[in-house]
Structure 1
Amino acid sequence: MAQRFEHMVDESKNIELTEDDLANKSKGQLIKKAGQLRDRRNELNQMASERASKRDDLNAKTREKVDEAQEHREKRDELNEQVQEHKESRNELNAEANELFDKVDELKSDLELDEGKDLEELESEIEDLEFKQQTEVLSTDEERELIEKIEGKREEYAERKDKLDGSEELEGLRAEAEEVRSEASQHHQKVTELADKAQEHHNQMIEAYREADDIRDEADDMHDSFVEAQEAADRHHEDFVRVQKRLREMDKEEEEERKSARDKKKEEAKEEAEEIYQKFKEGETLETEDLMKLQKTGLL
């Protein structure tokens, strides 16, 4: 609001003209009033011109911000399209990977690889039993029983390892499934990256539109202040024209008064000359001044 007041016309500097001024002020006073009106009009016209220029600059900045917002909108929409494409690819690849992992599980079941312990667990158990054999004092029966248990674990380990080593199809399926899952993860990463970029452009679009609205409001205020200054300038111009018209009327009135005075003076001179001429005809002696008056009026 403070900025709005800054652009308002200072009415205390305006020049007022009343009908009483036109009717009763002297010519000199009206000439002075015309000069004041002209100067204030010119000042207001300059003010209006500056405000119009600022308004146009602000409108141009508004258009720039709107264009900037549109660019961010287009980039956001483009990125969102790419996000959708990568989502579709990710979902298709995940579905494919799930099918492959299901086949891996089916094949493992067919090979009975899901039953029993895995190789790492068996290897750990064998190491524990061997450590016990080496570090503990055992009876002959306990020693024999422990050795038989170690041998059993080793046979189970060898049998299970043979099954795994012999299943090239299983390893191929697992590698293919993991590769497809990895490719799906790459698409998911692209979804995240592109979505973040799209959000950035969305935020920048919102900010650009907000700035455009703020600048547009400022431009509207500047336009209002331009109109205010221009209307005040127009009022001063109209009053200036009224004073000029009144001054021309006064000039005309003065000229008519001067003409009337000249005509009256001329008529009086003629009447005087006729009186002198009458004296001349009656034989009176005329003075030189009287003769000159007769000559001047053409009666002699």
Structure 2
Amino acid sequence: MADSIDESKNVSVTDDDLENKSKGELIKLAGQLRDRRNDLNQMASERASDRDDLNAKTREKVDEAQEHREQRDELNQQVQEHKEKRNELNAEANELFDEVEDKRDDLELDEGKDIEQLEDEIEDLEFKQQTEVLSAEDERELIEKIEDKREKLAEKKEKLNQGGDLEGVKEEAEEIRSEASKHHQKVTELADEAQEHHNQMIEAYREADDIRDEADEMHEKFVEAQEAADQHHEDFVRVQKRLRELDKKEEEEEREARQEKEEAAREEAEEIYQKFKEGETLDTEDLMKLQKTGLL
């Protein structure tokens, strides 16, 4: 940041200076005022250039922040779209899952053992019947158990057939929910990216504020230098005006002196001419004086 003006280098002029200083002193003072004014104008120009550079950097940072804002808003819009799609798919999947549960409840498919378990138990009992030596009573009881489980298995399958393709509906619901999860993942990814642009936007605005503060300070420094330069210019003009007054006064005095000299020469020439008319002999110098005044 530019330093303050060294006021010890400034040049000042008072009314007393203008009134009492000699012409030579005033010429010297005018030169000092002019040189200091030029230095201050150069300083003001440099500070104005620095200020303009800072203002340009401020605009760049604001533009950068605006770009991040636009990208953030665009990403947030995409987040909202994926959220809506996710919610729609989850609602659709939930309806299908509810449909499966309702049908299972209606058909009492959840009561007792499921089909796979019954099939496994029947297979185990049949294997036991085929591989173990059983008494007639034990074998009869085993056969009854197998028949009982087969009846329950048939009943379960019948109910399942009555309920339609519940597994297909369930698979469809799971596929829809999987698709919803993909949209949820996009929501998370896009939201993180949007947050990053938001953070960068905030940082760019902060940097813009800092640079703007520097530019404002540099503008104050520019004004300080320019006002000092203007003051030196005003004082320079005052001294120049005084010098013109002195020049005019000198010219007036010279003209008056010249007139007095010419008047004295004319009077002398008239006296010589009078002598000439009275018949006196004139020397060469007297003749030249008459010629100079136009009397001869």
Q: How big is the shift at 1:179? A: 0.8
- TM normalised by structure 2 equals 0.80
Residue 16 of structure 1, CA deviation: 0.7
Output the CA distance in 1 between the equivalents of 2:237 and 2:145.
123
Residue 112 of structure 2 aligns to a residue in which SS? Answer: coil
Alpha-carbon shift at residue 273 of structure 1 (Å): 3.2
Does the CA contact (< 8 Å) of 1:7 and 1:222 recur in 2?
A: no
Task: Give the superposition deviation at 1:106.
Answer: 2.3
Q: Say whether residues 1:224 and 2:220 are aligned partners.
A: yes
Mark the CA change 1:122 to 1:296 in structure 2 (over 3 Å): closer, same or farther: same
Instruction: Name the residue aligned to 2:83.
Output: 87
The answer to whether 1:202 aligns with 2:198 is: yes
Q: What is the CA distance between 1:116 and its match in structure 2?
A: 3.2
The answer (yes or no) to whether the contact 1:113–1:160 under 8 Å persists in 2 is no
Scaled by the length of structure 1, the TM-score of the pair is 0.79
Matching residue of 1:58: 54
Secondary structure of 2:165's counterpart equals helix
Gapped regions of structure 1 (runs ≥ 5): 130-139
Within the alignment, does 1:116 sit opposite 2:112 as a pair?
A: yes
Deviation of the 1:271 alpha carbon? 2.8
C-alpha offsets along residues 125-148 of structure 1, whole Å, 9 cap, x if unaligned?
A: 99xx9xxxxxxxxxx99xx69xx7
Q: Could you say what secondary structure the match of 1:195 adopts?
A: helix
Distance 2:54 2:119 in 1: 79
Kindly report which structure 2 residues correspond to 1:257-296, keeping only aligned pairs within 5 A, or say none.
Answer: 257-282=253-278, 286-296=282-292
Alignment correspondent of 1:254: 250
Whether the 8 Å CA contact 1:41–1:237 is kept in 2: the answer is yes
* % identical aligned pairs: 76
Structure 1 residues 234 and 159: CA distance shift in structure 2, 3 A: same
In structure 2, stretches of 5+ residues that fail to align are 126-133
Measured at CA, do residues 161 and 264 of structure 1 come closer, stay the same or move farther in structure 2, by a change above 3 Å? farther
- Deviations along 1:214-256, whole A, 9 cap, x unmatched? 2222222222222222221111111111111111111111111
Equivalent runs, 1:1-300 vs 2, <5 Å: 3=1, 6-117=2-113, 156=149, 163=156, 169-282=165-278, 286-300=282-296
Partners in 1 of 2:17 and 2:48 — Cα distance?
A: 33
Alpha-carbon displacement from aligned partner over 1:76-130 (angstroms, at most 9, x marks no partner) = 222222222221221121121112111222233344332235678889999xx9x
Contact 1:59 1:219 in 2 (8 A): yes
Cα offsets for 1:134-188 (capped at 9, x unmatched):
xxxxxx99xx69xx79x95997599559947965612111101111111111111
Change (3 A) 1:169 1:210: same
**How many residues were matched structurally?**
283
Q: Deviations over 1:34-74 (max 9, x none)?
A: 11111111112122222222222222222222222222222
2 CA distance for matches of 1:286 and 1:169? 158
Partner of residue 129, structure 2: none
C-alpha contact (below 8 Å) 2:48/2:218 kept by paired residues: yes
Contact 1:69 1:209 in 2 (8 A): yes
1:18-48 deviations in Å (ceiling 9; x for gaps): 1111111111111111111111111121222
